[in-house]
Structure 1
């Protein structure tokens, strides 16, 4: 980024503007991507760290808008088809990696990120398979690029196909990589889509632990597997809201703050998609990532529209 004070002022104006409720998730993402590609990211490391922290805090805050029994029911129903989806995606990712001749560890990270939880899954798996920083960076750039496209594309396609909110929430949760993009796309579609999408996505994200532990055992790695604590926080928030409904006048504002903080998060995520990041992605990993993503999106969409997943 050119070191012009005016550009940094513009960054702060846009960032603070995303705190205004009239600014929606798609607007924030487009603003962030436009700024990142045309100008650059003034504080790449800082925005990356804070977008991750803000996302986790926002997901916890969304729990204050959930009912725990309904949350557990949805999670239980989602368990089987998330397991099937993850197994299918990992197998397809392995075969596509061989087809496109993507470096093995990069291919594994892309497949794992697509199957479970995008950047969080890649971050958990990278030390287990002893991936080099460059391999991790390429995988993250690939997944991140597709996440940004999905956030804009999925609501449009959902409306085009006439998907109901429950259908769209399921589709977003099964076919979009990162939690942030699932939540952003679902929030743009409607309240029920947001509730379903968040719950099913977090059920999917729970597979980070067992999958990474299996990889640790298979590779005989000494890498540590991190517990995604924000999922625990989400469930705890839903439990508090369910057990103490008399404080809804507090839980409702907290939930609204969480939704708006997601808008800010999406701006920060969008601004990270710079020309440098796109340049690091590479043709082979991107080809594998796009093909795998399209395969998962089409197959899960067909299954949902046909009523096989509901």
Structure 2
């Protein structure tokens, strides 16, 4: 492979910047509008309005050719940068403290969800990439998990849009139903925090669900949810290995080859989490990084909305939505069952 001369690097970066700036600027404007909407309607967050605005704009008028490089850049590279910054929410201390209690619930619900996505989704004849994203979105952490696996499995914009929309619908239902269920089952705040942190997906929806139940349940639910975010790493790496083996004809891969498949943004995610654990990132900077991550996800989802093939959404039909409903029920039931088996209701 012939490397480009170093002296031409500034010129090449400048040319690249000129290409992507128009499209990125449009996505940023949409993300700002989505963020404002999310402030007024916290349950929506910024992600869902961003992708909806993008889809509506694309329906009215497809983005011009000069905007497309920036839209593609936003939907891929900026999305990966957002995943890196998510690591600022985690610390090794919180992982160890919460992990012992919540790990059985998280692992059981994730295993049931992924198995259900594969088996049920296959029987329902749903496209593999779409059922994978609905599975990881339901089993791990909603839009963040979908953002992490989408580039690894080569998902189309329409598939990403459908998966995120499906996850959001059941997040809204969780906010309405789960607090009532918690009171019906006479859960204490700690137990409900564990349930909400493992059975609800996006952070904004976890916050809404737990706060509706009680203020005491909120803190523990958020920590459980953030520890659950770590499941992105093994799932994404496994999917990368599976995709690579599929494309190479199921040939055996060495450990070194597998190592090269680890996406750079997952390594960055871990590095940021470790740095945060060492106390290098202060509270003010941590909040800035978290907010930057949320905003970059909105920028990326605006780009995905702008490039969405709406006809592809129509072709997907009702089956993916039905799969999302089934997985949502399976995750909630598994979480409750494991909490009961481990004595959570007898606290």
CA distance, structure 2, for counterparts of residue 19 and residue 258 of structure 1: 18
Shift, 1:71, TM fit: 1.8
Q: Is 1:32 the counterpart of 2:68 in the alignment?
A: no
Q: CA deviation at 1:207?
A: 3.9
Instruction: Measure the CA separation in 2 of the matches of 1:148 and 1:74.
Output: 26
Unmatched tracts of structure 1, length 5 or more: 127-132, 177-181, 245-249
Partners of 2:252 and 2:126 lie apart in 1 by 22
Deviations 1:21-57 (A, max 9, x none): 9665735345424422432486642432355245224
Residues 205 and 308 from structure 1, CA distance in 2 versus in 1: closer, same or farther, beyond 3 angstroms?
Answer: farther
Task: Give distance in 2, aligned partners of 1:290 and 1:87.
Answer: 15
- Structure 1 counterpart of 2:88, from 58, 61, 72: 61
Residues 275 and 54 of structure 1, relative CA distance in 2, 3 Å threshold? closer
Q: Which of 283, 290, 294 matches 1:259?
A: 290
**Residues 185-233 of structure 1: per-residue CA shift (max 9 Å, x gap):** 3355544432221112214643433565477679437685325224413
Q: Which residue of 1 aligns with 2:203?
A: 183
Aligned equivalent of 2:270, options 209, 226, 232: 232
- Summarize the Cα distance change of 1:15–1:101 in structure 2 as closer, same or farther, 3 Å threshold: same
Listed as ranges, the gaps of 5+ residues in structure 2 are 1-21, 64-69, 212-217
Contact 1:154–1:172 (CA<8 Å) still a contact in 2? no
TM-score (normalised: structure 2): 0.61
SS at match of 1:39: helix
- Per the TM alignment, residue 96 of structure 1 is displaced from its structure 2 partner at its CA by 1.3
Q: 2:168 aligns with which of 144, 148, 167?
A: 148
Describe how 1:266-277 pairs up with structure 2 within 5 A.
267-268=298-299, 271=302, 272-273=304-305, 276-277=308-309
Q: Secondary structure at the match of 1:206?
A: helix
Larger radius of gyration: 2
Q: Mapping of 1:1-310 within 5 angstroms?
A: 12=29, 15=32, 18=35, 24=42, 26-29=44-47, 31-40=49-58, 44-49=71-76, 51-63=78-90, 66=91, 68-103=92-127, 107=131, 110-111=134-135, 114-115=138-139, 117-124=145-152, 126=153, 137=157, 139-162=159-182, 164=189, 167-168=192-193, 170-174=195-199, 176=201, 182-188=202-208, 189=211, 190-203=218-231, 205-210=233-238, 213=241, 219-220=250-251, 225-227=261-263, 228-241=266-279, 251-265=282-296, 267-268=298-299, 271=302, 272-273=304-305, 276-281=308-313, 282-283=316-317, 286-287=320-321, 289-300=323-334, 302-303=336-337, 306=340, 308=342
Q: TM-score, normalised by structure 1?
A: 0.67
CA distance in 1, matches of 2:51, 2:132: 27
- Provide the rounded CA distance (Å) in 2 between the counterparts of 1:208 and 1:10: 26
Task: Give the conservation status (yes or no) of the 8 Å contact 2:197–2:224.
Answer: no
Give the CA deviation at 1:84.
2.7
Would the aligned equivalents of 1:59 and 1:230 in 2 still touch at CA under 8 Å? no
1:67-106 C-alpha deviation (Å, 9 max, x unpaired): x333223234444443333332233223213421234565
Give RMSD over aligned pairs: 4.3
1:293 shift after superposition: 2.8
